[in-house]
Amino acid sequence: MMRRALRGAALVLLLVLLLPEVAFSEEAVSTEGEKVAANADREKEAAALAAASKQYILLRRDQFEVENSIFYSHYSANQIYLQSFAILDPVFLTLGQFGIQSAKRDIFIYNLAGRYGILENLQLDVNLPYVYRHDLITTTGSGANGVPDTTLDRNSMGDISAGLSYQPISETDSRPGVILTMAYKSATGKSPFKIDPATDVPTGTGYQSIKGGVNLIKSVDPIVVFGGMAYAYNMPLGGLNQTVTSVTGATGTLRSVRPGDTVTLNIGLAYALSYKFALNFQFQQDYTFSSVANGRRVPNTVLNSALLKIGAGWSLSPNMALNISVAAGLTTDSPDFILEIRLPLILF
């Protein structure tokens, strides 16, 4: 009897000692499972955002990424865009009556981008574009009878740009993440204000720009919603001495240009179907205010470009991805369509 009592007491003592251990183990497994699930969600979110745009996800500290990308744009408009900055061909800045020029333009851009994570929430970006442009111009209107079609080609370096992205606020369950951007665009491309527009085409805007913006990111399971606004200050140009000629034969001299500033709005969503494949949809609008030439406002230089973009991203390896997107123009100032292929590679 005594032995049975001792055995019972020992069994009870053993259970008392083991129960906390079992409970702790279950809690640890549960916590570990939550961590794994959270990391998986973050990985899927990162995959979706990376496929959508590099504006919405930053590299970790001391990470370095190189991205090769190709852009193909087709335009059939009188006033067009190149990399979201207005290009105003000098022929449109002449005074007096002139005809309408219908320009069909194909622009190929190879861009080499470098990104470096300075801090966990601070990133440096540099873009080196090389541009090939092909124009087919048909002139109609007053004084344009007998004017032959014109074919123009040029390839050269485009406008180099650099910028910083800073994330002061991280995303939580109740608030979106915030990323602030600041970028500088040079005028290294062939300027439209330093060529003869009858025989040559530009590969850059001809002016420098400073652009600042704010982007918001929020996970709404199972998608990621993102959007932002930006303002580009396009710097004025002086000291020009360019002769421009209308189709009627009237000539004038371009002395100074104040390009209109550009406001950009974008909104979209991304969805990671798996850890390796993601889809995204995005709307972007660029509104450029009217320009001033020789101290006078130039008519018909307000530009409104809107694009609807659909893209997909495929993770080829932990450090490499392939992102493809197609954008369709929604306004007369927009390109007809844009095809974009990006191949980012994290080196370290």
Structural domain for 328, as ranges:
2-346
pLDDT at residue 297, rounded to an integer: 87
Beta-bridge partner residues of 234: 209
pLDDT at residue 258, rounded to an integer: 92
**202 vs 6, higher pLDDT:** 202
- Please determine, for residue 255, whether its predicted confidence score (pLDDT) is greater than 90: no
Over the stretch 34-57, which tens digit does the pLDDT of each residue have? 444 444 455 555 555 555 556 678
Q: What are phi and psi of 29, to 5 degrees?
A: -65, -40
pLDDT at residue 209, rounded to an integer: 95
Residue 13: which pLDDT band, with cuts at 50, 70 and 90? Answer: very low
Residue 28: which pLDDT band, with cuts at 50, 70 and 90? Answer: very low
Strands (E), 10-63: none
**Token pair recorded at residue 261:** 């500033």
∠ Cα 327 328 330 (to 5°):
135
Helix (H, G, I), strand (E, B), or coil: what is residue 235? coil
Q: Terminus-to-terminus CA distance in the chain, angstroms?
A: 72
Over the stretch 71-118, which tens digit does the pLDDT of each residue have? 999 988 654 434 333 344 433 333 333 445 667 889 999 999 999 999
Mean pLDDT of 226-243: 91
Total domain count for the chain?
A: 1
Over the stretch 168-195, which tens digit does the pLDDT of each residue have? 999 888 899 999 999 999 999 999 888 8
**220 vs 11, higher pLDDT:** 220
Q: What amino acid is encoded at 113 in this protein?
A: A
pLDDT at residue 35, rounded to an integer: 45
pLDDT at residue 275, rounded to an integer: 79
pLDDT at residue 46, rounded to an integer: 54
Over the stretch 122-155, which tens digit does the pLDDT of each residue have? 999 999 999 999 988 776 654 445 556 778 899 9
Mean pLDDT of 339-343: 95
Q: What are phi and psi of 254, to 5 degrees?
A: -90, 120
pLDDT at residue 245, rounded to an integer: 65
Residue 317: which pLDDT band, with cuts at 50, 70 and 90? Answer: confident
Residue 239: which pLDDT band, with cuts at 50, 70 and 90? Answer: confident
Over the stretch 258-303, which tens digit does the pLDDT of each residue have? 999 999 999 999 988 887 888 999 999 999 999 988 888 888 788 8
pLDDT at residue 50, rounded to an integer: 53
- Please determine, for residue 14, whether its predicted confidence score (pLDDT) is greater than 70: no
Nearest to 77 by CA among 13, 136, 155: 136
Mean pLDDT of 307-330: 92
- What's the CATH number where 46 sits? 2.40.160.40
